[in-house]
Amino acid sequence: MPKKIVIKFKEEKAPRDVLEEVPQLEPEASVTETEVRVQTKPSEIVTPSKGVEASIIKEAFDGYDALMAKIQEVKVREQIFQKMFLEQDISITTVKEILARWNTARDQIVNEAASLIEKVNEAKSKLESEFSKIETDLCISVVELDTLKYKESSNVPVPQELKAGLEAKITILRQELSEKKKKIGELEEMVRMLSELPKKIHSLTSYTELADKLYEELKEKHGTKFGPRVDEALQKNIETVMQSKGIPREYAIILIWREVQASATS
């Protein structure tokens, strides 16, 4: 019979340098130190709003600015047209047609304001949520810092790097909190303004400076004739023209002034 051949495998030892590369575990940090490190790390709470939230807030501010610009545009058009009516012989029919266009623009502004209120309130809600998170983070950071100061006053060693990090973070949080509070206040004022716009749209878009100036000239011209009753006489004349011609007060005053000037030169 053939002899059995037995093969023995030699056991290899792991290289020494491989064994030495195994990292040594560091001792765990104390609970207090770990908590402080967490507090001093940048968090999502203190970063500016991103994505949808930032877009909603920006759209609210941009939308409000655009609406205020439209209000100013109507007032400028009123100013320009009143000057034309003063200097040119424009018929009352044309005046009414043009003023109807201004009223249509006013109605559009009021409708836009109604839809914008919802967007502004949504932006305000987002900012209030951010404000609350930052305020919470600030309170925790202040407590952690004061805890370190307390330990320091009791001659307990305190990591100065952690202390400095908390102090810097608290400064940033307070600044962000102030900025958020200011924006929330601005949004609250926007909501108030937009809510009152249906009642105030005419006064906000009307140009009265020219009519006020002409009224004072008429008052001075007729002061001798009517004496102390000059305001009463002028107001009555203005109201009569407004009702008979179907035009606003400013245009009634311009029309009366034009007629007075025409009679003086004839």
- The SS3 of residue 24 is coil
125 and 245 together in one domain: no
Amino acid 226: pLDDT = 77
**Residue 227 lies in domain:** 208-266
Please report whether residue 141 resides in a domain: yes
Q: How many domains, in total, are found in the chain? A: 2
146 and 262 together in one domain: no
Beta carbons of 251 and 94 less than 8 angstroms apart: no
Q: Consecutive sets of 10 residues in the chain, 266 residues long: mean pLDDT of each?
A: 40 41 40 40 44 81 96 97 95 96 96 95 94 96 94 91 95 96 96 96 96 94 81 93 96 94 76
123 and 188 together in one domain: yes
Please report whether residue 16 resides in a domain: no
Please report whether residue 67 resides in a domain: yes
* Integer Cα distance of 193 and 89 in angstroms: 38
171 and 50 together in one domain: yes
198 and 128 together in one domain: yes
* Integer Cα distance of 226 and 219 in angstroms: 9
192 and 152 together in one domain: yes
Amino acid 208: pLDDT = 96
**DSSP conformational letter for 248:** -
Q: Pick the closest to residue 43 from 134, 171, 125, 124 (CA basis).
A: 134
Please report whether residue 6 resides in a domain: no
131 and 181 together in one domain: yes
214 and 147 together in one domain: no
